[in-house]
Amino acid sequence: MAESINDVKHRIASTRNTRQITTAMQMVSTAKLNRIQKHTSNYEEYVSRVKAVVMHLAQSHLLDKINSSSNASDHKSGKTAYLVITSDRGMVGSYNSNVIRETNNFIEEHTPNPDDYMILAVGGNGADFYKNRNVNVAYEYRGVSDIPTFAEVREIVKTANSMFEDGVFDKLYVCYTHFVNRISSTFRAEKMLPMDSEAFEEESSKDIKAHDFSAEYEIEPDESAVLKVVLPQYAQSLVFGAILDAKTSEHSSSSTAMQSASDNASDLISRLELQYNRARQAAITTEITEIVGGQEALKH
C-alpha cells in the first residue's frame, strides 16, 4: 500500500510539472498572438486596397489583355500547384491536420489525378506529410518567423513566379487557415496565378471592400508598365497576408491547445489527489486496525 501511495504522489508531482510547462507555453503563444494581431490589423487595410485595385483592373479586362499578350498564357503543362501553409512545430492542436485535410479535399475536387498537381510547402509539417506519401513536393520553405517579415515572402513569391513562367505549372492556389477569432478559424484556397479575371470571381464575393475606386483608369505611361508594378505587389501581398493569417491561426491554436492541456492536467491532479487521500486514509485505517488488534491480543 505504501508503494502505491508513493506512485500516486510521484504522478501528482509529475503532472504538476507538466502543467507548469503547458501554462508557460500558453502564455508564450498568447503573447505571440497578441503581437502578430497588431501586425495583421495594420496590414489588412493595405491588402484590402491592393486587392480592390487589382479586382477593378480585372473588371476592366486589363489583366486579360496583358495575359493574352504574355508568355504565361502559352503554358501547356496542365499541372496545378498548391502552396500549402502549415507550421514547423507541433503542439498546435488540430491546426496542421485541419489545413492538410481541407487541402486534400480541395485537391481531390479539382485535380484528383496525382500526376496533375504538385505541392509548394511553407512549413515543415506540410512538407513532411506530403513527402512521406510520395506526393510531388516541388518546393519547401521551413523556418518562417513567429512574426513573419516581408523579406521572407519575397523568396517564396519569386520562386513561385519563376516556376510559373518556366511552365512548371499552369495554376497556383494558396491554401491556408484564415483566423476568425481565438476559438474559430476557416480554411481558404485562393488562386494566385495566373492573375486573370477568373481569379477574382470568388474574391469579389468575399468580405473585401471595394472602396471608392472606379473601374475606369487613365494610365500612364501604359497598361503594361502599370501592371508590372501592381501585379507583383498583389502577389506578394496575397502570400504575405496568407502567411500572417496562418501564423495568427497557428498561435491561437497553440494557445488553445496548451490551455486545454493545462486544464486536463488540473483535472488529473484532482483525481490523483483524491486517489492519494483515499489510499492514505486506507493505509492509516489498516495501521490503526493492526494496533488495536495487537493490543487486544496482549490482553489475552
Question: CB 137: neighbour CB atoms within 10 A?
Answer: 19
| Whether the predicted pLDDT of 102 surpasses 90 | yes
| Whether the predicted pLDDT of 73 surpasses 50 | no
CATH class of domain segment(s) 24-255? alpha beta
One-letter identity of residue 74: D
- Lowest-pLDDT range, 5-19, 26-40, 77-91, 216-230? 216-230
- Lowest-pLDDT range, 33-37, 116-120, 134-138, 139-143? 33-37
Across the chain, what does the average pLDDT equal? 81
Higher pLDDT, 211 or 48: 48
| Whether the predicted pLDDT of 104 surpasses 90 | yes
Higher pLDDT, 16 or 194: 16
What CATH number does domain 2-21+258-299 carry, 1.10.287.80, 2.90.10.10, 1.20.1440.230, 1.10.3720.10? 1.10.287.80
Q: CB of 235 within 8 A of CB of 192?
A: yes
Alpha-carbon separation of residue 294 from 109, 283, 284, 286, 291 (angstroms): 79, 17, 15, 12, 5
Query: What pLDDT sits at residue 100?
Result: 95
Higher pLDDT, 77 or 286: 286
Task: Give 136's Cβ-side CA count (13 Å radius).
Answer: 13
Neighbouring residues of 259: CB distance < 8 A, sequence distance ≥ 6? 22, 26
Query: What pLDDT sits at residue 158?
Result: 87
Residue ranges, comma separated, of all CATH 3.40.1380.10 domains in the chain are 24-255
| Whether the predicted pLDDT of 161 surpasses 50 | yes
Over range 255-263, report the average pLDDT: 91
Residue ranges, comma separated, of all CATH 1.10.287.80 domains in the chain are 2-21+258-299
Label residue 212 by pLDDT band (50, 70, 90). very low
Cis peptide before 221 (omega within 30 of 0): yes
| Whether the predicted pLDDT of 254 surpasses 80 | yes
Label residue 64 by pLDDT band (50, 70, 90). low
Label residue 72 by pLDDT band (50, 70, 90). very low
| Whether the predicted pLDDT of 267 surpasses 90 | yes
One-letter identity of residue 215: A
- Lowest-pLDDT range, 75-79, 153-157, 268-272? 75-79
Question: CB 154: neighbour CB atoms within 10 A?
Answer: 14
| Whether the predicted pLDDT of 220 surpasses 80 | no
Query: What pLDDT sits at residue 1?
Result: 47
| Whether the predicted pLDDT of 140 surpasses 90 | yes
| Whether the predicted pLDDT of 240 surpasses 70 | yes
pLDDT in tens, 27-42: 998 998 888 887 777 7
- The rounded percent of the chain whose pLDDT value lies above 90 is 31
Label residue 80 by pLDDT band (50, 70, 90). very high
Look at the chain and count its residues: 300
Neighbouring residues of 185: CB distance < 8 A, sequence distance ≥ 6? 95, 98, 177, 178, 179, 249, 252, 253
Query: What pLDDT sits at residue 239?
Result: 86
Over range 100-109, report the average pLDDT: 94
Q: CB of 103 within 8 A of CB of 125?
A: no
| Whether the predicted pLDDT of 206 surpasses 60 | no
| Whether the predicted pLDDT of 75 surpasses 80 | no
Question: Which of 34, 106, 17 shows the shortest CA–CA distance to 254?
Answer: 34
Q: CB of 125 within 8 A of CB of 86?
A: yes
Question: pTM surpassing 0.75?
Answer: yes
- What DSSP string describes 249-267? HHHHHHHHHHHHHHHHHHH
* SS3 state at 207: coil
Query: Residue 149 is placed in which grid cell?
Result: 517579415
